[in-house]
Structure 1
Amino acid sequence: MPNREPSINRPLLMGIQREAEYKEQLIPDYKGNPFIETLPDILETNDIIKAFAQYPQFEEEQRFWPDNMRMHAIYQLNTLIQPLPFHLDIFNRFSVMIRDGYKGRNPKDIEYKINFSKGFKEVFSSDDDLEEGCKLKSSASGFAVIGPSGIGKSTSIEKTLLLYPQVIKHRHIQGFGYIKQVVWLKLDCPTDGSLKSLCIDFFQSLDKILGTDYEKTMVNSRSTVDTLMPDIAHIASLHGLGVLVIDEIQNLSLAKSGGEKKALNFFTRLVNIIGLPVVMVGTFEALYLFENKFAQARRACGMGDMVLDRIINKKEWDLIINSIWDYQWLKKDTPINDKLKDKLYEESQGIIDIVVKLFMHTQWKAIGSKEEEISEKLITKAAEENLKLIRPYINAIKTGNREKMKKYKDLKAEWLSLNDYILNSDEQVQLFGAVGREHQRANDKKTIESIYYEMVQTGLDMGLEPNQNMELANEISNNKDIEISKKRRLHLIKVAQLLQSPGNSNESKKLPKKPAGKKKANVSVVSERSDLIYAFRKGLEKNIAGVDSLKEGGFIASFYEFV
């Protein structure tokens, strides 16, 4: 018997198992596919919110329980989930992705049966370049969820997965017989960072869920990623795996996984060849997913990624605080107010996990100190004494000190890499929280710079004095009180007014003569100063850009007139 790799025991998310119950599908693409017909109904928004919401069991009388009992009751807050917009987004993505992935893997289709019987070793032995995107008939897709620790990435995804049965038992599917369909599987990327360990974890996890012995059969000491991938493909197809979630993806080491190309091929082939939807979850340390070939290969088959960050939206923050505020196990009920909300934000910086823990510690302190009520002072004390390990983390966010923030790799994205990916992505990247605000700021700055240079060029074309031209362009482009859509129009009006003002003689605005042999532009001196404004206004009335109407009227010469 060959030597086998040692067993690796890691926490495993496990869901319910049930017998198959087939339901008629309304959507034509879903009809006649037993893998889809046994899934739960597609939920409406209100039903998703109800399914996600998770609150502690609380009665007013509990506030007067003995201290030790209340201490235990407070810990229930650790499981609280208040549905937010990104929860709905995640659930709907999974709902579509799982069904869409099954469209190309209908066990009743003859093509699927033929491909399954042929096996995957031949396919995986191919050295075809997969960077050009999904060329196979796979209908699968995938996406990444990236954000700092404590924001609710893993909790949201686990809650979504647990709303689906993990295993559905089909008593008989023609051509296959008895099948245990695995709707979802969630793996944590191994701390050693190797793809081989991830492959082994795949078999071990299925063995725990299904009671099989795939690890014993498939894995030995000579196994490599290349030898294990065809077996993963075969087992995933045999059990109709609906989606594979790989959490803590920042742990993946490209060096230990054979380099960037090896890791790239591993993930793209999961989707392209196996037809398996893959969701990757990680902190901002996993930004290699957004860079270079990784981004190109993933966006060719993806649904558009999600970037989550701490809460900055006041409505969302109020929703979170109001949802936890009702759960006070203190003898004195403290009404909520803006000062307390602001203090909680100051000490947690909008990170959901931290604010919940802070609220718990504050209540524990209130009980221990016999104060029995919540105050700003007590919130600060709880943060300083009970959340010491994360205080530097929070202070780095508070101050915005880039040097301090660099010490926490999962805290903030390397903005240029992320922003460039978002702007160039083929699919829309969904941004939630502070990262969305920063992206908007970056876009606004880029737009303002573009408008500035455009205004400078327009002013030069119209003959405005250079220093005056640059000063005007700078003033209008950086004025936050003027809507971006109105800046160009206002600039043209101002330029025209300046050209008519005393001290701006017509003679000084004459354009230099071009060399002989080139087409002559209409640059005759305007007989009346009002002609410039008249031409500009007539252009606006016809919905023609001001600069174009002035060119049409012969008041602006081409750049090439000067060269």
Structure 2
Amino acid sequence: MSDNPYLDSVPEELSKSDFVQQIKSTPDFAGVPMTNRIAKVGELFVPMDYMYTVYDLLLRAIRTTYLTITMLDTIRQIQGLRQESVSSFATEAESGSILGVPGVGKSSTVRRCLSLIPQCVTHSEYNGKPFYKKQILHLFVECPSDCSVKTLAYSIIAAVDRAIGSEYFRFAAKQSRLSASALVTQVKIICLNHAVGVIVVDEIQNAIQTAVHNKQVRPLIKFLVELVNETCTSIYFIGTSEAEQLFCRQEHLQRRTRGLRLLPLRPDAGYRQFLEQIWQFQITEKYMPLTDRVANLIYDHSGGIPSYIMQIFQQGQAQTIQAEREQMDEKLLKQGIELLNLSVPKKFPTGISLSDFTVSEVVSEPAALPEQSRQDELTQGKPQVVPRLYANPRGRKAVIRNNLDLIELWKRKQETEKTVQGMENLGLIERGLP
């Protein structure tokens, strides 16, 4: 017991093996007609090593909230908000972001991680004394595409109602003339009343795109920063790398939005292990072996993005069933790929590959940017980019050149003066008089 009912309500962290067992999902094809099995393949969820890191981040964020503020602090903070006075007793809660390429599984992973943590705890007593409180450990909010400060605030209020069955949204909606600042104050009071542990804001790039378009960047940033500072509620942002551009340009958000920057799998052991796990769930009559050629084909068209890999796997089987074939083959797989018309970026923002979380078989490359590059990124607001990887070598095959070829001479010398000297020795050039 910690003499803090909020903190005592947070469950102990699961071991990695227990975590994997609880979040994985495998389809059951028993008694399901062949044509309906393709949809059930979509129920397959393969745990990856990075997901446990996300789970750990979210659970620590919740604990940080309850270590930051006590019950007495909550009462004082609510009174301060109602009287529009600023309180300075509370320290800052944790905040961060999980950004990455679309399709790497950010939102689905966060949802599954949060499903392992109770969302609402109803207190009636604590340490033998009456204590009535509906505590909310986490909220998941999806940013509307036309998001503004008011609509984001309404989304948070609606998420509270879904969690505890309250009617805050109905009361707030009745006040049609409620200003954005007044609505934001209501959100802060609600978060304090129910001791919200962490708010996860998904698709944050929508809010940023709208804010930039409507020139509302500063009000949006002010709202998000105040929510962290004045309620001591931890916040995590989920979205694509587009959000990083604004995060880097705004000083208030640079340190508050640090976190994971996820890139697709590399064509390595981590990718092969993921593919082998889903490959066993073929629904055709005969099993198609997973060869290096097939694995490379799928990687080159999916870019190592897990969502695309799953789509190719499903569509390949769909083409097999429609062709009334017993076994999927490379030709049918290619037909499925053409039908999907997947578009993989040729360059990705700098980050950490999903493969880097596999420590047993994969040798990780440094994920951090050099200090100077990082400073340039923060100064210019333009994240660095890296080219995407391919399993099969791209471009023309290397040409075998003669030893007297100028390019070969340069490769051997690597210095202009030495190259010129070598060409002179071979009688390929003559130096003029100075």
- How high is the TM-score relative to the length of structure 1? 0.60
CA contact (8 A) 1:193 1:257 kept: no
Mapped pair 1:86 → 2:50: yes
In our comparison, the structure showing a higher alpha carbon Rg is 1
The partner residue of 2:269 within 306, 315, 331 is 315
Counterpart CA distance in 1 for 2:369 and 2:126 is: 54
1:308-387 alignment to 2 at 5 Å?
308-385=262-339, 387=340
Mapped pair 1:306 → 2:306: no
Rate the CA distance shift 1:227–1:442 in 2: closer, same or farther, 3 A: closer
Counterpart CA distance in 1 for 2:372 and 2:188 is: 47
Q: CA deviation at 1:46?
A: 1.7
The partner residue of 2:11 within 33, 37, 40 is 40
Q: CA deviation at 1:259?
A: 2.5
Q: Which amino acid aligns with 1:305?
A: G
Q: Equivalent residue of 2:287, what SS?
A: coil
Q: Equivalent residue of 1:332, what SS?
A: coil
Q: Which amino acid aligns with 1:223?
A: L
Partner deviation per Cα, 1:194-223 (whole Å, 9 max, x = no partner): 111111122223223322221233342222
CA contact (8 A) 2:352 2:367 kept: no
The partner residue of 1:241 within 182, 190, 196 is 196
Partner of 1:228: 183
1:523-562 alignment to 2 at 5 Å?
none
Rate the CA distance shift 1:475–1:89 in 2: closer, same or farther, 3 A: farther
Rate the CA distance shift 1:188–1:444 in 2: closer, same or farther, 3 A: closer
Partner of 1:432: 353
Rate the CA distance shift 1:326–1:137 in 2: closer, same or farther, 3 A: same
Q: CA deviation at 1:331?
A: 0.9
Q: Which amino acid aligns with 2:222?
A: N
CA contact (8 A) 1:84 1:316 kept: no
Partner of 1:260: 217
The partner residue of 1:189 within 123, 143, 151 is 143
Q: What value does the CA root-mean-square deviation take over the aligned residues?
A: 3.2
Partner of 1:524: none
CA contact (8 A) 2:74 2:193 kept: no
Q: Which amino acid aligns with 1:195?
A: V
Partner of 2:234: 277
Rate the CA distance shift 1:435–1:309 in 2: closer, same or farther, 3 A: farther
Any unmatched runs of 5+ in structure 2? 358-363, 374-409, 416-434
Q: CA deviation at 1:76?
A: 2.1
The partner residue of 1:54 within 12, 19, 25 is 25
Rate the CA distance shift 1:305–1:313 in 2: closer, same or farther, 3 A: farther
CA contact (8 A) 1:347 1:380 kept: no
The partner residue of 1:122 within 62, 70, 84 is 84
* Percent sequence identity over aligned pairs: 23
Q: Which amino acid aligns with 1:45?
A: K
Deviates most, 432-441 or 319-328: 432-441
Q: Equivalent residue of 1:150, what SS?
A: coil
Q: CA deviation at 1:381?
A: 0.5
Counterpart CA distance in 2 for 1:440 and 1:334 is: 36
Q: CA deviation at 1:251?
A: 0.8
Counterpart CA distance in 2 for 1:111 and 1:284 is: 36
Q: CA deviation at 1:111?
A: 3.5
CA contact (8 A) 1:309 1:435 kept: no
Partner deviation per Cα, 1:161-193 (whole Å, 9 max, x = no partner): 111111111113599842111111111111112
Counterpart CA distance in 1 for 2:369 and 2:332 is: 38
Q: CA deviation at 1:117?
A: 3.9
Counterpart CA distance in 2 for 1:112 and 1:209 is: 20
Q: CA deviation at 1:281?
A: 0.8
Q: CA deviation at 1:143?
A: 0.8
Partner of 2:154: 200
Partner of 1:151: 104
Counterpart CA distance in 2 for 1:354 and 1:185 is: 28
Counterpart CA distance in 2 for 1:54 and 1:178 is: 37
Q: CA deviation at 1:435?
A: 11
Q: CA deviation at 1:350?
A: 0.9
Partner deviation per Cα, 1:123-171 (whole Å, 9 max, x = no partner): 46x9xxxxxxxx7623411111111221100001000111111111111
Counterpart CA distance in 2 for 1:163 and 1:202 is: 21
Partner of 2:119: 166
CA contact (8 A) 1:138 1:273 kept: no
Any unmatched runs of 5+ in structure 1? 1-23, 25-30, 127-134, 403-411, 414-418, 420-429, 447-470, 477-563
Counterpart CA distance in 2 for 1:305 and 1:238 is: 28
Counterpart CA distance in 2 for 1:255 and 1:344 is: 37
Rate the CA distance shift 1:445–1:137 in 2: closer, same or farther, 3 A: closer
Counterpart CA distance in 1 for 2:36 and 2:73 is: 57
Rate the CA distance shift 1:255–1:314 in 2: closer, same or farther, 3 A: closer
CA contact (8 A) 1:192 1:251 kept: yes
